[in-house]
Amino acid sequence: MAFRIIEEKCVGCGACRWVCLFGVPVALTPDGSKYEIPQDKCIGCGHCEHVCPNNAIEPAPGHKRIKKVTINPENCVGCTVCYHVCPDKAPVGERGKPFEIDQTKCTACGMCAVRCKHDAIHVEYED
């Protein structure tokens, strides 16, 4: 999953560059007037889309937005990695026991799924 910048709408403000939670190297185009998102690095959380003042960011063709993130309690070992990497502190639980995602806090960025070593986190995409 990746997002892209619609070149015609981009005003070069750089908001997308500073908001990425994953350190994606959003950079200026060769002419220095617009920004572009490297498609092979973007995980598709959509934080850049929400911060863009010109609505210049959208899912790349063939990609979908994350709809919901859940934890499979059978695979979760309660290691707390998901909690520590979540910018929203949406994973809740007790160390050593299966965690859950507090859907009222989760912004569906997918950071927890990227970092989970136990394949316990499921990401559901929009149709």
Indicate if 66-125 has the same CATH topology as 3-59.
Answer: yes
Predicted TM-score of the model (pTM): 0.67
Contact 111/87 with Cβ under 8 angstroms? Answer: yes
DSSP string, 31-90: TSSSEE--TTT-----HHHHH-TT--EEEPTT---EEEEEE-TTT-----HHHHH-TT--
66-125 has which fold? Alpha-Beta Plaits (3.30.70)
The architecture of the domain spanning 3-59 is 2-Layer Sandwich (3.30)
Q: Summarize pLDDT for 87-113 with one digit per residue, the tens.
A: 889 999 999 999 999 999 998 888 899
> Left, alpha or beta for 19 (phi > 0: left; psi -120 to 50: alpha)?
alpha
| pLDDT range class, residue 54, cuts 50, 70, 90 | very high
| pLDDT range class, residue 40, cuts 50, 70, 90 | confident
Predicted confidence (pLDDT) at residue 71 exceeds the cutoff of 90: yes
